[in-house]
Amino acid sequence: MSEKAGHQHVTVLLHEAVSALNIREDGVYVDGTFGRGGHSRLILSKLGAAGRLVVFDKDPQAIAVANELAEQDNRIIVIHDGFASFQVALDRLGIDKIDGALFDLGISSPQIDEGERGFSFRFDAPLDMRMDPTRGMSAAEWLAVADEQDIHEVVKNYGEERFSRQIARTIVAQRQEQPIDTTRKLAQLAAQVVRTRERGQDPATRTFQAIRIFINRELEEVSEVLPQVVARLNVAGRLAVIAFHSLEDRIVKQFMRQYSQHPLLPKWAVVREADLPKPPLLLVGKMQKPSEQEVAVNPRARSAVLRVAERTDGLFEQ
Position 130 scores a pLDDT of 92
How would you classify the pairing of strands 28-31 and 98-104? Answer: parallel
Instruction: Please report the pLDDT score of residue 46 as a whole number.
Output: 98
Report the pLDDT value the prediction gives residue 200, as an integer from 0 to 100: 66
At residue 268, the pLDDT reads 62
pLDDT the model gives residue 195: 81
Give residue 111's pLDDT. Answer: 54
Positions in the chain whose pLDDT score sits under 50: 1-8, 113
CB 87 within 8 A of CB 231: yes
Question: Are the C-beta atoms of 138 and 188 separated by less than 8 Å?
Answer: no
Global confidence as pTM:
0.89
Determine the pLDDT at residue 122: 67
Q: What is the pLDDT, as a whole number, of residue 96? A: 97
Question: Over 91-124, what HEC string results?
Answer: HHHCCCCEEEEEEECCCCHHHHHCHHHCCCCCCC
